Structure 1
Amino acid sequence: MSSAQSQFPVPGATQSYWRSELDALDDHQSVQDLPTQCDILIIGGGYAGVATAYHLLKSAAATGNTKPNVVLLEARGACSGATGRNGGHLRPDITSAPVRLSERYGSKAGAAVARFEMDHLGAFARLLEEENLECDFAKAASYEVFTTPEQVVAARERHDKLRAQPAFAELVAAVEFHAGDDAPDRTGVKEAKAYFSSPAAHLSPYKFTMGLLSRALELGLCLKTNTPVLSIREVDAVGTETGGGSIPAKYRVTTPQGDVNAAKIVLATNAYTSALVPEYAAAIVPCKGLACHILASSSSSSSSSSSSSSPPSPLRLPRLPTSSLCHRVGLSGYNYIIQRADNTVVVGGAHHTYKQDLASWYNNADDASLIQPAQSYYCDMPGFAARCFVGWDEVQTTVDHVWTGIMGYSADSLPHVGSVPGREGVFVLAGFNGHGMPVAYLAAKGVAEMVGEGKTYEQTGLPALYMTSQERLAPRYDDILGRNLQVKDS
């Protein structure tokens, strides 16, 4: 198992489908030399960090307040981490995690998390219209598909538990549960026996984040890509190092390009958080996953097309009944699938093929290499699409991109948001468990209010369960490995 110190972004990362055509801002440098001082330093140039910068500067512009000097540092290219490597889903979870959260913390707390995620659908639609962002956004009913009798029984129990709780009444009304022999035709999944249908959307996470980054730069953000942060240390008012005290906290951040002093810091570092704040080592663990992009195989084109002077027309795959799928396999297998407007498919998951090999994914920040069992699961012939989808047996497909990404998995399955315990002026927005798209935008708004307006966590209206705390740094649960860490009373 690697030490926390080694868990920094690595060079030579695999190329994701989303980043196959890079934005002009990918390696952007707002200034040649690293600023020596700023009001607010954001570390991490993915969705969470960019959204925080956008909210900070947008709020200042809207209220006429003094615009803070905001600097964002990214270790590699912009949106090169988990955001630029995810499955493209904007899918609120209404029927899975909320059941577990309700059992642990009560139905009101579980429902608050589900409502917060649902709020992202409307928030995204308003943002994209207001800022005129183009990111291939599409609303869709997302089907969580169950393929074994045991899964169907468990799903029905979940649904019944939610329906029995008044706090979930409005949310459950948006969910359909259907079981029957027609499930394969309804879902497009061969082995389907039942499914949940719930509101969702999908998009290009890279295009979205880069579009929002462009707006933040217009509002005054200073961006430095390819500038990894190596350390953070506390300094006093005249720049000498201190172990703490009653003076206002200020921080010196070290990079290969020099140091920058910041009054406040936002850690939008997700899987890499403990590399800079080691106290998060048990709370947020880097975990590696794999995804790929499937399209029609060029080998299915007619031989005559090769003799033509013009290129052949792009081949299109069949259209699935819905463009958003969560495909449950066996006891613990899970694939997340979207179908793009061009009918190509992005799919990730297959954790069940390698989960026993902990070194291949757990506490592993190497997104420069693939995970062979998952790669084979998706790429070996017959292809995943032919094995999975109704009517695709004769469809010839190929995989043109296979990539890995490093997700920040939290031990208790909840993101860490808010003021870092014991570090005045340092805030965290991390640990999204591969489920950050319906969480980070509005969570970043709350963090921006804490950082820029001095609000308390409670005043932001964020879900209470997201609040980072000293207690959560010594987790009671280990959902990543399925272990119960609660200490029994003596």
Structure 2
Amino acid sequence: MGNALSLVRIALAEFLDNLRTFQTLQARIQRSPGLPLPNPTRSFWSYPPSPIAAHTSQLPTHADFVIIGSGITGASVARRLLDSLHGDGHNVKVLMLEARDACSGATGRNGGHISPPLYHDYLSLKRDHGQAVAQKMIKFRLAHLQELRCVAEEEGILPESQWREVDTVDAFYDLELFERAKIKVQQYKADLPFDAEHHQVYEAEEAIEKFRLASDSVGCISWSAGAIHPYQFVTGILAKLLSRYPDDFLLCTNTPCTSIASPTSSSPYYTLSTPCGSVTTPHVIHATNGWSATLLENLRAKIVPFRGNMSAQRPGQSLTAPQRSFVFYSAAIGYDYLTQLPGGECEFMLGGGFAQDGDEGYEAMGNTDDTTYSKRIGAHLSGALPRYFGEDNWGKEGVPLELGDGTEEWAKGRVKALWSGILGISVDLLPWVGRLPRAVSGRAEPPLSSVVRSEKEDGAERLHVGAAPGEWIAAGYSGEGMVHAWLSGKALAEMILGREVEGGLGEWFPDIMRVTEKRWKKAKVENLLDALKD
């Protein structure tokens, strides 16, 4: 009887502890993310800073479009809007507001992977949305590899963007996880023959030899993916837009949007407030990802901020394998991801470790403080690589090189830098792209007449730009922004321009990512918590 009571007490204590954790998490994700904090941790990507890092155009009193956020989504939307409208002979004002320096959010702080989750998600996508939709989602993710390359080539920034095609390797150190992954690969290859030849399964002995993994690796799965310098890619595009459209593209860094007011009888536009003044516009475009719910209160607990952690590390002297990207799976919850830079000290860019952050990673959820990083995760990342590759394969620690390029000094040991960044986790694990229904935005839309400028106002033309005025969003990439964000931004621009047919969205854009009131009501944070446990 005594033993039974003890077991009941233990079970009750565990239940109450889990309940308190859940209640704490619920309260945290219902709070406003706030504005991005000043003085974030120093990301290795963003040094030296871009010449346009602190660019500040004169804030206009009115703009045809206002984009909030200067990461990869904002850059994609701005490029498509400006190129399309100017190609049609329209002169428009596109204003981009950024709370900190340009590209200082998640894009400039991520892992640099263009490595879409394919077989990983296919079966759940097929179960929830059907085979045709699942395949469309997979093709959408795959398209980003060549799309980003084409954009970099068109803008003349391919060398500095460091776009490259690489072999990517899912390396497993847990047999059960590996066996489950192999089943997913088999089904994926059966249903998607157009991508089947890209996925190769290697059992333990061959995986260890071919990819120079630690001796306890149980196998791996490899296919073709890519990598990029995300900060130089985005700031390079923004610099080109500023040069190409000096009068029509305005970038105001260190100018946060603090509030948005609905149209009134005296002003038929949205009014956006900033510390530098107010600006009116018929179109507000939210490209703030993890901070989306700051200005869109109804997206709280729909797009959840999540603090991720990254590092830049010198390779061991014996690790001379070709440049690849890796994802390391050693436990049921969480994974670590790795890319290698093509120049300099050929640094390893290693991120992940969120399960080491307490309460199986829940500590990171709802956390928007990127002025520091998790010391527990930092310790994990700092010691993980010799474990994954094996001490013999790693060899002696790398020796700092004197490159003489005038860049900032970094730490002299294995780990050159540690930093954090804020992701936007969608509770249904799909990005949110499209017009915001009033129930979601919480604000009235401007009348259609607000986008018709009179001859007195512009001195020349009358302009009716595409779709009716409103608020728009592309966000909630759940840590996979490099294989969702650019084409989501491109699709959003086509929606804003009213060119969905001309842009062929029906052929390549997955409708399951659209924002609808029905989807908004259905999306629950409990679904995300269940998914994290699967």
How far off is 1:369 after superposition?
1.4
Q: What residue is the counterpart of 2:410 in the other structure?
A: none
1:420 aligned onto 2:444: no
Q: Are 2:529 and 1:481 aligned?
A: yes
Deviation sequence 1:275-331 (CA, Å, 0-9, x none) = 10111112100000101000158xxxxxxxxxxxxxxxxxx6633344211111122
Q: Structure 1 or 2: larger strand share? A: 1
Gap regions ≥5 residues in structure 1: 240-248, 298-315, 485-490
1:204-244 deviation per Cα after TM superposition (whole angstroms, max 9, x unaligned) = 100000111112212321000000111112113522xxxxx
The within-5 A match list for 1:360-439 is 360-379=363-382, 383-390=383-390, 391-397=392-398, 398-422=414-438, 423=441, 424=445, 425-439=470-484
Contact 1:450 1:456 in 2 (8 A): no
Which of residues 254, 262, 265 is equivalent to 2:281?
262
Say if 2:271 is the partner of 1:208: no
For residues 317 and 164 of structure 1, do their structure 2 counterparts lie closer, same or farther at Cα, with a shift above 3 Å needed? same
Matched residue SS, 1:151: helix
- 1:350 partnered with 2:378: no
SS of aligned partner of 1:437 = helix
The structure richer in helix per residue is 2
- Partners in 2 of 1:10 and 1:330 — Cα distance? 33
SS at match of 1:102: helix
The match for 2:81 is: 56
Deviation at residue 264 of structure 1 after TM alignment: 0.3
Structure 2 residue matching 1:22: 3-state secondary structure: coil
Deviation at 1:384, TM superposition (A): 2.4
User: Are 2:111 and 1:87 aligned?
Assistant: yes
CA-CA distance at 1:26 after TM superposition: 0.3
Match of 1:142 in 2: 168
| Cα deviation code 1:98-135 (max 9, x no counterpart) | 22111111111111111011111121222222211121
1:246 maps to what in 2? none
> Who is 2:31 aligned against?
4
1: CA distance, partners of 2:365 / 2:287: 20
CA contact (8 A) 2:319 2:395 kept: no
- Taking structure 1 as reference, are residues 67 and 364 closer, same or farther at Cα in structure 2, changes over 3 Å only? same
2:81–2:497: 8 Å Cα contact kept in structure 1?
yes
Alignment of 1:2-401 (within 5 A): 2=28, 3-31=30-58, 34-61=59-86, 63-133=87-157, 134-165=160-191, 168-190=192-214, 191-220=216-245, 221-236=249-264, 238-239=266-267, 250-295=269-314, 318-342=319-343, 343-356=346-359, 360-379=363-382, 383-390=383-390, 391-397=392-398, 398-401=414-417
Deviation for aligned residue 1:483: 5.8
Report if aligned partners of 2:33, 2:294 keep a CA contact under 8 Å in 1.
yes
Q: Any conservation in 2 of the 1:145–1:187 contact (CA below 8 Å)?
A: no
Within 2, Cα distance between the matches of 1:98 and 1:7?
35
Equivalent pair of 1:252/1:260 in contact (CA under 8 Å): yes
Any idea what SS the aligned residue of 1:140 has? Answer: strand
CA distance in 2, matches of 1:194, 1:54: 42
Q: SS of the counterpart of 2:422? A: strand
The letter of the residue matching 2:270 is Y
Opposite residue 129 of structure 2, the aligned amino acid is Y
Q: Could you tell which deviates more after superposition, 401-410 or 334-343?
A: 334-343
- Given that 2:434 and 2:492 are in contact with CA atoms closer than 8 Å, whether structure 1 keeps it comes out as yes
Q: Which has the higher mean CA deviation after the structures are superposed, 445-454 or 408-417?
A: 445-454
Does the residue aligned with 1:174 lie in a helix, a strand or coil? coil
Alpha-carbon distance in structure 2 between the residues aligned to 1:183 and 1:14: 36
* TM-score for the superposition, normalised by structure 1: 0.87
Q: Aligned pair in 2 of structure 1 residues 125, 70: CA closer, same or farther (>3 Å)? A: same
Distance 2:178 2:36 in 1: 40
In the aligned structure 1, how far is the partner of 2:137 from the partner of 2:526? 19
Q: Which amino acid aligns with 1:482?
A: D
Which residue in 2 is equivalent to 1:304?
none
Pick closer, same or farther for the CA change 1:457–1:107 going to 2, 3 Å: farther
Which amino acid in structure 2 is aligned with residue 387 of structure 1?
R
CA contact (8 A) 2:306 2:424 kept: yes
Q: Would the alpha carbon gap of residues 156 and 5 (structure 1) be closer, same or farther in structure 2, given more than 3 Å must change? A: closer
Q: Work out the CA distance in 1 between the residues paired with 2:386 and 2:393.
A: 5
Question: Scaled by the length of structure 2, what TM-score is found?
Answer: 0.80
Identity of aligned residues (%): 28
CA distance change for structure 1 residues 479 and 327 in 2, over 3 Å: closer, same or farther?
Answer: farther
Secondary structure at the counterpart of residue 119 of structure 1 = helix
Cross-structure match for 1:487: none
